[in-house]
Amino acid sequence: MAAWYYQIALGGAPSITMAKSSILRAEQPLAPDLPFDPTLSRSSGGAARSSPRRRDLVFIVNPLGANGRTGKEWKKLLPYLRSRLGRDCNVCESLTSGPSHAIDITREAIREGADAVIAVGGDGTLHEVVNGFFWAGKPVSNHDKEAHHSTALGSDFARTFGWKNDPQEAIERIAKGVRSPIDVGVISSENEESHYFINVADIHLSAKAGYYASRYKRFGNLCYVIGALQAFIGHSNQDIRIKVNDGEWETCTQATALCIGNAKFFGGGMKITPNADPRSGDFEVVILQDFKWYDFILKLHKLYNGTHLSVRNVHTRRVQYIEVEDLSGSGRIFVQSDGEHLGFLPRKFCILPSAIDMIC
């Protein structure tokens, strides 16, 4: 049985998760739609014959996403979604109640035989659903069937594929069900569980800006500007060292930011790793060195349109594995992935090729 993942943008970038789960069904008010799951039907002669099994789709909704707009837009979208998908699918809704809840829902849905898991929310919801596909360093699976994950997404990740922020267009992709394998990044460190990302992981100034920006999400994309301004206060470039693909350690002096891209965009549309492709089997790593505050003002347009790789003190390379350590001794070089704060260096990053199937 296949377990698919998909994200829909609603007033921000909601995600929808499909799954076959009696617990999820019991939790939510859509139960009357779910029990109809026929496996046999009668012909005109009265003989039993097999009919195609209806897919079970679990939509994981963050009702507080985009300052509550996600929940409101989801309610408006639901009638269209039922009318478009209800003939062939059982539609199940599960609302998240707090941080990491989408991770738990996703794992449970897959274990109980999910056909597809769809995230309805922003990048944070997407990030949690992707992490829900894994447990203790291994893919989550149904006890009797291989778990095969499929996804098509919204928000910054969707920009890599040129998709519009259009929920109805996303539902059409779900209905067609065309899938393509995509890569997932893995972040590890000593004495901590592995963490997974699908978009961009980043280190130092950009990660610190993301940490502060998360406090101002009520201001929309302006939160990234506010976060960056706050991150610059007291910021200093730091020396770090990296090891790439089992090579030797290299020192990066005066590092401002290091970005590891599985996809191209982060920070509300900044094309930070413009050559990244989540189907390539490797990351694009972009390193900014010795940037001053005025460099960001003067070169911000290049960062957004992806033409910054030709700028002085910007370096790029393709990697399957990269290890990053702090040489400053501060223990305060920030790390984040998909906009979620993960702590501080050191960290190791590697890629899982074709780890999830995406509905495209």
- What is the per-residue pLDDT for 264? 97
Residues 146, 288: one domain?
no
Report pTM. 0.83
- 317 contacts 349 by C-beta, under 8 angstroms: no
Q: Is 144 strand, coil or helix?
A: coil
203 and 161 share a domain? no
The number of CA neighbours under 13 Å toward the Cβ of 249 is: 9
Do 291 and 169 belong to one domain?
no
Q: Do residues 158 and 216 share a domain?
A: no
Q: Exposed, middle or buried by CB within 10 Å (0-12, 13-18, 19+), for 142?
A: middle
Residues 93 and 170 occupy one common structural domain = yes
CA 315 to chain centre: 25
Whether residue 132 contacts residue 58, with contact meaning beta carbons closer than 8 Å, is answered with no
Share of the chain above pLDDT 90, in %: 50
Distance of alpha carbon 113 from alpha carbon 143, whole angstroms: 8
The answer as to whether 190 is a domain residue is no
Rounded CA-CA distance 312/66 in Å is 36
Give a yes or no: residue 191 inside a domain.
no
pLDDT at 189: 94
Residue pLDDT, tens place only, 239-280: 999 999 989 999 999 999 999 999 999 988 899 999 999 999
Binned at pLDDT 50, 70 and 90, residue 7 comes out as: low
CATH code of residue 220: 2.60.200.40
Q: Quick one: DSSP state of residue 101?
A: H
Positions marked catalytic = 123
pLDDT, averaged across the chain: 83
Domain count, the chain: 2
Domain carrying residue 32: 2-177
CATH number at residue 165: 3.40.50.10330
